[in-house]
């Protein structure tokens, strides 16, 4: 609701509020970094309200304190981004409906498996003129076929949704090491440029690309490839083997994306969301790290166990995405066309040993 002001006659009249309000839906490692980036810009951009709300899935810390309260007291997400100040204009809100109230710029950054439930809770609770952007890697696999998260948001909430993907290891951006990202959009370039301004800083360069599906699939599929890279590292097969996987995985990413969506552009794979993100994720990141440990243990420790031990509450996306991609391939009869994607999933579920990734590479 627009604020009111008193006229010289004592009447209250509504004053149009043209400033945008931002809410970040998610408060994990990447969500907290996103809030930090955005909060530094809303203080500078006159078209935005200073305050940035961040929805926090409430947790009780070992100290007995609530996570949202500690974030607001310390200006720090002590569980998922310790040691980093988010900005005094970031406000942690544990109530989802309250967090999105009055916001017309919604930033979604949660594990993708939770998005359908989150969207169902938000139906009828957001502004009609709201715009969304998804920083989420993954897809929903339904009977009628795969559904990208941006499409899920648009379909369930009835709002336009852009995406932001790139070579973005959150902890590096948190300490302001240089990085870049790609905003994917459908038709409205002005909205894309607004998102670019909201995220851009001297250490975080953002550009726009008119290819939502291409940008989003790059961000999704690279997590499957990172699992494969972790297997190679865990087997100590060296950089030459990993480099060969880069080449073959990029080929599968491109082919899969363009089979699903003919609109996907070749050039998108040369943006930050494409080859740059693929390299970064396969050299570092949580998927590679857990897959490395899985291979070193000969596949005898489950990914669920390794996730809990290594990630300390963060979620592993690559294994679930590999399963979702496999379901699409099996349903469409494409398994033989994508040997890397197929092999990664079959290793993850124990059907093949970790060494199968090397046997695949030599095939």
Q: Which of 46, 50, 67, 56 is nearest to 24 (CA)?
A: 56
315 is annotated as contributing to ligand binding: yes
Instruction: Choose the most confident range, by mean pLDDT, from 2-11, 144-153, 189-198.
Output: 189-198
Query: Does 1 fall in a domain?
Result: no
Query: Does 304 fall in a domain?
Result: yes
CB neighbourhood size of 350 (10 A): 10
**Regarding beta strands 161-165 and 179-184, do their DSSP bridges make them parallel or antiparallel, or are they unpaired?**
antiparallel
**Per-residue pLDDT at 141:** 77
Q: Which of 194, 222, 254, 289 is catalytic?
A: 222
Question: What integer best gives the mean pLDDT of the chain?
Answer: 92
Q: What percent of the chain has pLDDT over 70?
A: 94
85 is catalytic: no
Query: Does 157 fall in a domain?
Result: yes
- Residue 26 falls in which region: left (phi positive, over 0), alpha (psi -120 to 50) or beta: left
**Per-residue pLDDT at 37:** 98
245 is annotated as contributing to ligand binding: no
317 is annotated as contributing to ligand binding: yes
Tell me: the pLDDT tens digits for 118-134?
999 999 999 999 999 99
Tell me: the pLDDT tens digits for 16-61?
478 999 999 999 999 999 999 999 999 999 999 999 999 999 999 9
Q: Are residues 94 and 204 in the same domain?
A: yes
Q: Are residues 232 and 97 in the same domain?
A: no
Q: Are residues 81 and 130 in the same domain?
A: yes
Q: Are residues 330 and 226 in the same domain?
A: yes
CB neighbourhood size of 18 (10 A): 8
Q: Looking at residue 78, which CATH number applies to its domain? A: 3.40.50.720
Q: Are residues 170 and 286 in the same domain?
A: no
CB-count burial class (<10 Å; 0-12, 13-18, 19+) for 267: exposed
**Per-residue pLDDT at 361:** 56
Q: Are residues 229 and 175 in the same domain?
A: no
Burial 330-340 (b: 16+ CB within 10 A, else e): eeeebeeebeb
Tell me: the pLDDT tens digits for 263-313?
999 999 999 999 999 999 999 888 999 999 999 999 999 999 999 999 877
Residues 6 or more apart from 234 whose CB is under 8 A from it?
A: 291, 292, 293, 294, 295, 296, 354
> Which two three-digit tokens encode residue 99?
């967090």
75 is annotated as contributing to ligand binding: no
**Per-residue pLDDT at 6:** 38
Query: From the centroid of its chain, how far is CA 265?
Result: 21
**Region 162-190 average pLDDT:** 96
Out of 161, 189, 210, pick the residue that ends a domain: 210
How many CA within 13 A on the CB side of residue 75?
Answer: 10
pLDDT class for 362, splitting at 50, 70, 90?
A: low
Residue 164's H or E segment, with its range, is: strand 161-165
Q: Are residues 134 and 226 in the same domain?
A: no
Q: Are residues 163 and 26 in the same domain?
A: yes
The CA distance from 207 to 109, in Å, is 19
Q: Are residues 281 and 132 in the same domain?
A: no
57 is annotated as contributing to ligand binding: yes
**Per-residue pLDDT at 10:** 40
Q: Looking at residue 338, which CATH number applies to its domain? A: 1.10.1040.10
pLDDT class for 150, splitting at 50, 70, 90?
A: very high
pTM for the whole thing? 0.90
Q: Are residues 174 and 319 in the same domain?
A: no
Tell me: the pLDDT tens digits for 302-352?
999 999 999 877 778 899 999 999 999 999 999 999 999 999 999 999 999
Range of the domain at 112: 20-210
312 is annotated as contributing to ligand binding: no
How many CA within 13 A on the CB side of residue 248?
Answer: 21
Mapping DSSP onto H, E and C, the string for 260-274 reads HCCCCCHHHHHCHHH
pLDDT for 213 beyond 90: yes
Out of 177, 210, 243, pick the residue that ends a domain: 210
**CA geometry: angle at 283 spanning 320 and 227, to 5°?**
25
Out of 179, 210, 241, pick the residue that ends a domain: 210
**Per-residue pLDDT at 71:** 98
Contact 271, 356 (CB under 8 A): no
């Amino acid at each position: 609701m627009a604020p009111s002001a008193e006229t010289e006659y004592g009447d209250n009249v509504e004053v149009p509020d043209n400033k945008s309000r931002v809410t970040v839906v998610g408060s994990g490692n990447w969500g907290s970094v996103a809030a930090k980036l955005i909060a530094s810009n809303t203080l500078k951009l006159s078209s935005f309200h200073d305050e940035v709300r961040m929805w926090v899935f409430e947790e009780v810390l070992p100290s007995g304190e609530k996570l949202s309260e500690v974030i607001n007291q310390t200006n720090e997400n002590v569980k998922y981004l310790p040691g980093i100040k988010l900005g005094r204009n970031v406000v942690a809100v544990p109530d989802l409906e309250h967090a999105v109230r009055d916001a017309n710029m919604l930033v979604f950054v949660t594990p993708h498996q939770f998005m359908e439930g989150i969207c169902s809770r938000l139906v009828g609770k957001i502004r009609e003129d709201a715009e969304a952007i998804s920083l989420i890697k993954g897809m929903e696999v339904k009977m009628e076929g795969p559904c990208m998260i941006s499409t899920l948001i648009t379909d369930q909430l009835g709002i336009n949704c852009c995406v932001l993907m790139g070579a973005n290891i959150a902890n590096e951006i948190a300490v302001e090491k240089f990085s870049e990202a790609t905003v994917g959009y459908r038709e409205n370039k002005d909205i894309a440029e607004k998102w670019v301004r909201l995220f851009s800083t001297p250490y975080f360069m953002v550009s726009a690309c008119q290819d939502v599906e291409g940008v989003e699939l790059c961000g999704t599929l690279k997590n499957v490839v990172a699992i494969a890279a972790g297997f190679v590292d865990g087997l100590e097969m060296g950089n030459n083997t990993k480099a060969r996987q880069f080449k073959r995985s990029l080929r599968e990413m491109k082919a899969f994306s363009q089979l699903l969506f003919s609109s996907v552009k070749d050039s998108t794979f040369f943006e930050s969301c494409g080859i740059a993100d693929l390299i970064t994720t396969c050299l570092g990141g949580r998927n590679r790290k857990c897959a490395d440990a899985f291979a070193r243990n000969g596949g005898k420790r489950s990914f669920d166990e390794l996730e809990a031990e290594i990630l300390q509450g963060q979620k592993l996306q690559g294994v679930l995405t590999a399963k979702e991609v496999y379901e699409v391939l099996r349903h469409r009869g494409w398994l033989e066309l994508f040997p890397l994607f197929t092999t990664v999933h079959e290793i993850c579920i124990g059907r093949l040993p970790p060494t199968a990734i090397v046997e695949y590479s030599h095939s």
